């Protein structure tokens, strides 16, 4: 055993996740792809099942009992999200279908309204395509410029580089809280201060942030924070956009349809108040309620306790994998979270993933929707093991043994 042992009841946590009892090719499932999508505890599965079995109707439309019940549960979920990230007002929480849609909402609404050819957007080299392409689409429409903050060899993104690129021309600074490839945690609070001093708004892609650490949007000071349900042990098909109320209030709707209006005539339509203005159409109802259950689940364990456990596991995994000759880590920033990307001199990432899958080990291999970052590190792709609250040192040991086998096959 390497490192300190933290009291954390991993066995009982694993018991909450029915899928972890499944065998894969006759082997124990070693699920190391939580950064792709996390597995769901039975508390979340049961909450979703309960909606369809006992409390289902459309929301905010009917006057009947079921609609009132479902609407109340849906709004309770919004409150849980608001508390989870410490938003000042519940109306600052917009439900979307995922991180991707949340970022597209900001680009299409805030971006189209406020940016022109003289303006600039600042991104980083560590972004997922979800936080690159919406801004490129915006650039193509309004003619603004995109500047990109570099990443150093360890995967650190330096504050000085943000300072260098943010200017009075910058209208939006958009970057990930945590890189899905490098595991690097970006200095959100510090960058936000710099951006605000130049009059820019800050959009955080929190897809990989909220699951690894407590997030307080008021303390961070950010203007927008986007994340999805499926990486925080909740359902897929549900996402969140947090936005400061004053900004959301003056932004135009992103999509039009039912539920987002006050009055409609063929001449003029007026918008509903927040958050409805940004939730056109029937929303992902059961998914939102399931997200609320996932938040309850994480809160019951304790966000700090989860973070501490994952750091310990990351340290163990780093040490274990360091012992494998010819394995090169991509992303060694201090304070990183439990995402371990690597290449091996002996084999292509796709071969590695396919071979270790025979041992029941699920990792992701590819460009991780971060092609510019692959280019930066001069690799076509990488293998990534990502750890969640249900992973154990035994999982790490099986990963390490499986990687040793890869070396044997390719020697």
Concerning whether 369 is annotated as a catalytic residue, the answer is: yes
Q: Binding segment for ligand 7TS among 47-55, 64-72, 153-161, 205-213 (CB under 6 A)?
A: 205-213
- Among the listed residues 244, 340, 240, the one whose alpha carbon sits nearest the alpha carbon of residue 294: 240
Phi, psi of 319 (to 5 degrees): -65, -40
364, 365, 388, 392: which one binds ligand 7TS (CB under 6 A)? 364
Q: Encoding tokens for residue 186?
A: 């970006």
Q: Encoding tokens for residue 237?
A: 């098909």
| Residue 178 Cβ vs ligand 7TS, minimum distance, rounded to whole Å | 7
183 vs 384: CA distance, rounded Å:
10
Of 99 and 338, CB closest to ligand 7TS: 99
Of 174 and 344, CB closest to ligand 7TS: 174
Q: Binding segment for ligand 7TS among 92-100, 319-327, 345-353, 395-403 (CB under 6 A)?
A: 92-100
Is residue 368 a contact point for ligand 7TS (CB under 6 A)?
yes
Task: Tally Cβ neighbours within 10 Å of residue 12.
Answer: 9
- How many amino acids of this chain bind ligand 7TS (CB under 6 A)? 18
| Residue 103 Cβ vs ligand 7TS, minimum distance, rounded to whole Å | 7
| Residue 136 Cβ vs ligand 7TS, minimum distance, rounded to whole Å | 15
Is residue 211 a contact point for ligand 7TS (CB under 6 A)?
no
| Residue 260 Cβ vs ligand 7TS, minimum distance, rounded to whole Å | 21
Q: Which of 144, 176, 346, 369 is catalytic?
A: 369
- Among the listed residues 389, 399, 256, 388, the one whose alpha carbon sits nearest the alpha carbon of residue 322: 399
Is residue 284 a contact point for ligand 7TS (CB under 6 A)?
no
Q: Binding segment for ligand 7TS among 47-55, 73-81, 202-210, 272-280 (CB under 6 A)?
A: 202-210
Of 8 and 95, CB closest to ligand 7TS: 95
242 vs 87: CA distance, rounded Å:
8
34, 70, 91, 99: which one binds ligand 7TS (CB under 6 A)? 99
DSSP H stretches of helix in 327-386: 349-357, 371-376
260 vs 70: CA distance, rounded Å:
18
150 vs 123: CA distance, rounded Å:
9
Cis ω before 174 (30° cut-off from 0): no
105 vs 99: CA distance, rounded Å:
10
The CA-atom distances, in angstroms, between 353 and each of 119, 162, 321, 323, 386 are 43, 35, 15, 19, 13
| Residue 290 Cβ vs ligand 7TS, minimum distance, rounded to whole Å | 14
| Residue 43 Cβ vs ligand 7TS, minimum distance, rounded to whole Å | 21
13, 30, 35, 399: which one binds ligand 7TS (CB under 6 A)? 35
110 to 139, contacts with ligand 7TS by CB under 6 A? 128, 130-131
36, 243, 283, 290: which one binds ligand 7TS (CB under 6 A)? 36
208, 338, 383, 391: which one binds ligand 7TS (CB under 6 A)? 208
Of 280 and 362, CB closest to ligand 7TS: 362
DSSP assignment, residue 337? -
| Residue 268 Cβ vs ligand 7TS, minimum distance, rounded to whole Å | 34
Of 108 and 130, CB closest to ligand 7TS: 130
In whole angstroms, how large is the CA radius of gyration of the chain?
22
With beta carbons less than 8 A apart as the criterion, state whether 32 and 387 touch. yes
- With tokens 């082997």, the residue in question is 27
Is residue 176 a contact point for ligand 7TS (CB under 6 A)?
yes
- With tokens 């504050």, the residue in question is 159
- With tokens 């201090």, the residue in question is 334
Q: Encoding tokens for residue 151?
A: 């990443």
Binding stretches for ligand 7TS (CB under 6 A): 35-36, 98-100, 128, 130-131, 176, 180, 205, 207-208, 228, 230, 364, 368-369
Catalytic residues: 369
């Amino acid at each position: 055993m390497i490192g300190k042992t933290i009291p954390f009841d991993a066995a009982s946590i694993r018991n909450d996740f029915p899928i972890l009892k499944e065998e894969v090719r006759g082997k124990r499932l070693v699920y190391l792809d939580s950064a792709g999508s996390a597995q769901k505890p039975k508390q979340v599965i049961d909450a979703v099942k309960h909606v369809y079995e006992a409390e289902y109707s459309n929301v905010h439309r009917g006057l009947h009992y079921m609609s009132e019940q479902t609407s109340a549960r849906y709004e309770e979920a919004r409150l849980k999200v608001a508390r989870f990230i410490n938003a000042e007002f519940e109306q600052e929480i917009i439900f979307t279908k995922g991180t991707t849609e949340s970022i597209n909402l900001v680009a299409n609404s805030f971006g189209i309204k406020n940016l022109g050819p003289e303006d600039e957007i600042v991104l980083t080299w560590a972004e997922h395509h979800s936080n690159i392409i919406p801004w490129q689409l915006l650039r193509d429409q309004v003619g603004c410029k995109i500047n990109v903050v570099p990443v150093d060899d360890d995967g650190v993104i330096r504050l000085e580089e943000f300072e260098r690129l943010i200017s009075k021309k910058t209208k939006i600074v958009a970057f990930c809280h945590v890189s899905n490839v490098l595991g690097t945690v970006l200095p959100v609070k510090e960058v936000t201060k710099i951006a605000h001093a130049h009059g820019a708004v800050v959009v955080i892609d929190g897809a990989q942030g909220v699951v690894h650490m407590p997030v307080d949007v008021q303390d961070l000071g950010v203007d927008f924070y986007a994340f999805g349900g499926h990486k925080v042990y909740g359902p897929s098909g549900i996402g969140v956009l947090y936005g400061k109320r004053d900004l959301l209030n003056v932004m135009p709707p992103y999509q039009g349809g039912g539920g987002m209006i006050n009055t409609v005539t063929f001449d003029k339509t007026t918008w509903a108040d927040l958050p409805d203005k940004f939730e056109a159409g029937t929303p992902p109802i059961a998914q939102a309620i399931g997200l609320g259950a996932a938040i309850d689940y994480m809160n019951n364990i304790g966000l700090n306790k989860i973070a501490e456990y994952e750091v310990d596991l990351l340290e163990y995994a780093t040490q274990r994998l360091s012992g494998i000759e010819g394995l090169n880590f991509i992303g060694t920033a201090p304070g990183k979270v439990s995402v371990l990307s690597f290449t091996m001199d002996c084999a292509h990432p796709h071969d590695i993933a396919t071979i270790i899958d025979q041992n029941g080990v699920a990792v992701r291999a590819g460009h991780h929707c971060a092609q510019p970052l692959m280019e930066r590190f001069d690799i076509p792709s990488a293998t990534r093991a990502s750890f969640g609250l249900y992973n154990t040192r035994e999982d790490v040991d099986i990963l390490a043994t499986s990687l040793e086998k890869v070396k044997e096959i390719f020697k």
